[in-house]
Structures are given as C-alpha cells and as structure tokens.
Structure 1
Amino acid sequence: MAPHTDLFTAFNFIRKFLEISGHWPHTTLSISSELRSFLSFTSSLIFFVTNMMEIVLHFSDFKDLAENMSVTAPVFAYIVKLVVFKMKRREFFRMVEMMTNAKTFEPRSEAHGDFVKTMGKTCILVMKIYGGICAVVVTLYACLSLSSETVLPIKFSYDFGSWVYGMYAFQMTAIMNVALNTVCLDMLAVCFMGTAIAQLQILEQKIHDLTKFDHEDYSPEEETRRMKQCVVHHTDIIK
C-alpha cells in the first residue's frame, strides 16, 4: 500500500476514526485510547443488552420481534467484529507492516500503477456509498421519534419517567458509535481485499509477461529470475 495512493488515503481515513473511538491498536499502552475504547465498547454492550431485554419481553410478538432483531443483529455483528479485531491485533500489525514496506507491492510499470489506482478509487467509492447509507439510517433513527408515539428511536418498553431523554441520548450515541465503527471495520477489510485484488492483477500481468523478451535480452537466468519474483510476490500476497 504505497503512500499517496487512493488505497493509502482510504486506509488513513479509517485509521483516524478508529483512533478517535480508541479501537485502533497501539504497540504501546495508551491510557486515553484504552479509556475511549472501553467506553465505546461498554456503550455498545449495554445497548445490545437493552435490545435483548426488549426481545425477551416481546418474544411471542412476531412484529415486535422482527423489529428488535433488525436492530440487535447488526449490533451483535459489530461486537463480534470488534472482539476479533482486538484479539488479532498482532496479525493486523504484521499485515499493515508488510503492505506498507513490501517492495513487491510497489508498482513497477504504468500498467501496474493503473491496477492500484482503479482499485483505490473503487474502495473510496464503496466507502462513500456505505458511509452515506449508514448516515441516512442514523438520521432516520434520530428523527423517528418525531413521527411516532415514543420518544426513543429504538423501542424500549420499560418506563424511564423523566429519564427518557437520557435514554434517547444514550441510544443515539450507541447507534452512532456502532454505525461509525462498523463502517470503519468493514472498510478496513475492503482496503485489505482491494490491495490483495490489485496485487493479484499485477501478479497475473507479471506471469503473462514471463516469456516476453526482446530477442537480445533473453536468457534462461533472466526467465528464472522473473519466475522467482512472481513466487515471492504471490507469497507476500497470501501472507
């Protein structure tokens, strides 16, 4: 993932947001980052528990159950993603380091650079569309109380009395937290996959060019060297 490419830009954009929430892994202990991560994860976990309480309460009502499940399932998926991301931080660091420093990933020709640019633009487009959809969904939840009998964006049958607006603030904070971090984690995976796809396209081009020589430049040693480069490149991709 060479600097000043669209993939690198998308990757850094995601990194900034994950650093804000405290979920970006660090090689050294950062108290402020760990605190933000704890608060973010705790709010998501409490939000999940409150949704599960609502599911248990309305388990026999299919309409309410479906409505609650549509909210609870993405929250549960996000929690699982985040836990796995935290557990695999060492592997993540190795992947980032390799993608940043591997010389085999550097475009060697204009055609190779075009593969990387195309994939980078595609990743950024996907990120904008995905992020835009999530922003619309969050906005709709925020405005839901204006067109319904309840103040809360997510139905919660327990009576909070005068604390209902506090619950509204908590639910909206949790929804935004889950939505933002879900987009970041998903797009982080897209960036990795985009890099792998671009490099596989470059590798395919290299393999096609293995036997393409100018007549005076051909030698068995040069052909062997090119084959070894392809093997090394493939090994770096699948790592």
Structure 2
Amino acid sequence: MRMNALKHIKILYVNDKKDKEEYFVSELKSYCNNFIQTNCSESAIKIYKEEKPEIIIYNVSFEKTSPKSFIEEIRSVNKKAQVIITTENLDKKMLYEAVRLHLIKYLIYPFNLNTLLDSLKDCIRIIDSNSSNIIKLSETLTYDKFNKTLLKNEELVSLSSKEVKFFDVLIKNKDRAVSYEEFNQIIWEGEMTKDALRSIVKDLRRKIDKSIIKNVSGIGYRVEL
C-alpha cells in the first residue's frame, strides 16, 4: 500500500498528555488530508460520533486514565473501528484487554514513524478486507496476529521468540501447509536442524491444543482452524 492511501482516510488522534504533542503528529498531517486532534477522551467520543473517522490513535498515560471505557464507547458505535494505542507502559492485563477489545495495535515507546505507518497500513488492510486482526482458533484459543499474542482460556500464553515466529508463519499461511524449507529460511536463516523444528512443535503443542498444529507428511506443518 502506498502512503497516498492515507490521504483518503480520516484519523482521530487523542492525546491525554495535554502538555506534549508527539513528534509524529506533524509528519502524519503531511500524509493525511483528514487529521483531527483532541486532548480529551470525552470530546473524542463526540467527535467520533460526528466525524466517524476510520482510525483512532490514542496516546494514553495509564497513570492518569484507562482507555478501556473510551474504547468500549467507541465499539458501541462501531464494532469495527480501528484503534491504535500508543503508550510508555504495557502489562499482561493490558495485552489481554487489547485482544478482548480487538485493538489493532499497542505501540510501546520508543517507536519510529515507520512503525506507526506500518500499523496504519494494517488498519487500512483490515478496513478494505472487512476482516479482523483477532483469530479464533478454538473454543479456548485466540490469536492476535498484529500484536502476535496468544490467549488460552483468557490467559496469555508465554512463547519464546522462535515459537512466536513459527506460529505467526502458520497463521499467515493458514490456507496451506508451510514447508520445512520455509521454516528453515524464515526462522533459522538456513541453519535449521530437524530436531530444532520438532522441539518448537513439541513445546507449542504442549502449551496449546495439540490438534491446532498438523503435520503434513513430506511437506511441513499447517494450522488447523
């Protein structure tokens, strides 16, 4: 997606740090023809109902407020509203709320403009495809493909960096089997051993539903949705 696509998207920027305008705001204004700002969540809800922006960027200090009620109010108007939270602090409870509220992304400071633009691209893809970043894998498992977090029975599953990469590759290619060679190149950069791959699969199956990851004989693995 080229950045001129942002010119046709309306963005609402909410900043509860009233004494500080973030560095990326002026840059975003150069990309967006419809960029609305406010430093009050109450006025943001009113603006949202009137202007109906496609994307909300909420810069929140969790010491001052929680975005939960704000996002729930937005969701009551439009369940598919795209919300990006920018913050300096994030814990497991907040990650759980991100999945529950279908947030597109939590961005933790420091991040650069390109990271924010990538998240905006993800928002636009979801808007265009009418899909969600939250995937229901089973009755007990939920995966957030943008924040790369996995919930089991509403608890965050602790994954190693390689487990995250392996599972993410499966989800991105959910309609087919991923070959051993693809895992080798993407995760191990050509230095994978069969034992290393088997260990990843074994550990993941132990942490989640064993039926989710299927072995395709002679090819590789696929995710069973």
Q: TM-score range by the shorter chain?
A: under 0.3
Larger RCO (alpha carbons 8 Å, 6+ apart): 1
Name the structure with the higher helix share. Answer: 1
Instruction: Specify the structure having the higher radius of gyration (Cα).
Output: 1
TM-score relative to the length of structure 1: 0.22
TM-score relative to the length of structure 2: 0.23
